[in-house]
Amino acid sequence: MDDRVGRRGPRVWTREQPEPSPARPRMRTRWIIAPDPDGWSDVALSEWELERAGWTDRHPHTETNIVLAGELHVECEGTTVVVGEGQTVQVPGGSTGRYWAPSYARMLAVYGPNPDAEDTEATEYWEI
């Protein structure tokens, strides 16, 4: 996944197709810039898709989602927003985010930083 060229020079990652898992068939993800398992002081970047499905998690770091296609619903701290193509939504670090796409949504997610490598709590996947 990580084809880094030197620690101080440019880093390059090879593009992979987002893949579903057997446990989450309507959710596909791939890392563009993978997080360092020992913590990171910059950002991590992923691409993910939901198709008539939802996902809930709690990150120790901020999560910013840029909607590339479709419509994403996000609930955090009792407030729900609906964001469409070209819009960005952010869930603050330490908060639980509940994300779903009644039809389809494809996003870029920016995570971080997370210098202490605190764990993300993945709590629920569901299908609509």
Domain count, the chain: 1
| pLDDT tens track for 40-68 | 888 899 999 999 999 999 999 999 999 99
User: Across the chain, what does the average pLDDT equal?
Assistant: 89
Which pLDDT does position 28 carry in this prediction? 94
pTM: 0.84
Q: Return the CATH number at 48.
A: 2.60.120.10
| pLDDT tens track for 75-94 | 999 999 999 999 999 999 99
Q: Domain range holding 99?
A: 2-127
Residue range 97-115: mean pLDDT, rounded: 95
Residue range 68-77: mean pLDDT, rounded: 97
Contact by Cβ (8 Å): 91, 99: no
**pLDDT bucket at 39, cuts 50 / 70 / 90:** confident
pLDDT at 6 over 70: no
Give one DSSP letter per residue of 45-110, joined into a string: EEEEEEEEEEEEEE-SS-EEEEEEEEEEEEEETTEEEEEETT-EEEE-TTSEEEEEEEEEEEEEEE
Contact by Cβ (8 Å): 65, 89: yes
pLDDT at 122 over 90: no
User: CB burial class (10 A; 0-12, 13-18, 19+) of residue 94?
Assistant: exposed
**pLDDT bucket at 7, cuts 50 / 70 / 90:** low
Rounded to whole angstroms, how far apart are CA atoms 66 and 56?
A: 17
